Structure 1
Amino acid sequence: MDVRRALVNCSRGEASRANLAPWVAAGDLPAGDVVGWRDPKAPERGYLVVTAEGRDPVGVALRAPSGGGVRGAAMCDLCRTTRGPGDVTLFAAARAGAAGRRGDTVGVYACSDLDCARATLARPSASLRPDPGRTPEERLAALAERAGAFVATVLATAP
């Protein structure tokens, strides 16, 4: 799979300059997965790729503020994991198409490292509390659904 081709809200040039995490560049993403990573060469950039059963993967380029994450404990909108100070960040994604070229964006509070799948499967601790009352499989399915809805918002025509 070519992750760069999956990025829907940036130019071909921006996508070609995207620094892929080594584990993303090395293999195919199974259906139903949500994969995210921060660009090690440009920490304000991040990427989120969602694969759905029977569909091509769709990815979005994200921007984070240079100041860091939320100062207090906060919940990730994607995996619904409550995390400690600085571990959740407000990311902005340009809308796809003409709306994005005009500067329209949508935002999401997400795990600062964008590794929501790992957070979803983690054991609860003082600084990491996954969505309670659900099995890990249920949490992963809900993560895929919410991440897919966010990507759909990026693709939607702005009102």
Structure 2
Amino acid sequence: MHALSPSALRSSFVNVSLRERSSIVIPADLDATTWDRLDYFGWRDAKTPLLGFVVAEIDGSPVGLQLRQTEQPTRTRPQCSWCSDVTLPNDVVFFSARRAGKAGRAGNTVGTLVCARFECSRNARRLDPPAYLGHDAAAARDRRVEALRTHVDTFFRDIRDGA
């Protein structure tokens, strides 16, 4: 992912109103972000703990989505739909996202299970121990990163372009 300025992050959101967009709190530590190790950029605002914000590059341009975490806890420990991590270093929660445009204004949403702190890029890049003799751990990691990118791309396109 390419480095983004606070104004580029804020203007990338497609499923919020102008008032909601202007109230998004951008993280203060953007300079410390290792953008080249991210498949998407996500954060939570402590003042609005049920909201999550994610930005990914879709067709070469940043697209941002506001997600809302459900208040109802899950009964089991689910698996992240984006990174498919099975070691679950952090909680996975259910988020819903309002669709962009007219469909979103009509209340149309899409839900997904995602790592609560948006750690998918780190999870996918972890080099696991060999599963068996001759196992190519680096190739397995590369497949996980590609799968993460595909899952994120599909979700973002569904929100942005879906009806």
| Same fold, TM-score > 0.5, yes or no | yes
Percent same amino acid at aligned positions? Answer: 32
Q: 1-side partners of 2:112 and 2:65: how far apart?
A: 12
- Return the letter of the residue paired with 1:143: L
CA 1:83/1:90 → structure 2, altered by over 3 Å: closer, same or farther?
Answer: farther
Contact 1:75-1:83 within 8 A present in 2 as well: no
The runs of 5 or more residues in structure 1 that have no matched partner are 125-131
In structure 2, which of residues 49, 56, 61 is the aligned counterpart of residue 56 of structure 1?
61
Q: Per-residue CA shift, 1:43-62, capped at 9, x if unaligned?
A: 1000111125x611111100
* 1:19 matches 2:25: yes
Offset at residue 157 of structure 1 (A): 3.3
Q: What TM-score do you get using the length of structure 2 for normalisation?
A: 0.77
Q: How many residues align?
A: 150
Offset at residue 75 of structure 1 (A): 0.8
* 1:119 matches 2:133: no
More helix by share: 2
Contact 1:89-1:109 within 8 A present in 2 as well: yes
* 1:47 matches 2:58: no
Tell me which structure has the larger Cα radius of gyration: 2
Offset at residue 32 of structure 1 (A): 7.1
Task: List aligned pairs for 1:28-107, cutoff 5 A.
Answer: 29-30=35-36, 33-52=39-58, 55-68=60-73, 70-82=74-86, 84=88, 87-107=91-111
CA 1:32/1:144 → structure 2, altered by over 3 Å: closer, same or farther?
Answer: farther
Q: What TM-score do you get using the length of structure 1 for normalisation?
A: 0.79
* 1:141 matches 2:146: yes
Find the counterpart in structure 1 of residue 15 from structure 2. 9
Q: 1-side partners of 2:138 and 2:55: how far apart?
A: 26
Q: 2-side partners of 1:45 and 1:61: how far apart?
A: 7
Offset at residue 71 of structure 1 (A): 3.6
Offset at residue 19 of structure 1 (A): 1.5
Offset at residue 153 of structure 1 (A): 0.7
Offset at residue 5 of structure 1 (A): 0.9
Q: Look up the SS of the partner of 2:66 in the other structure.
A: strand
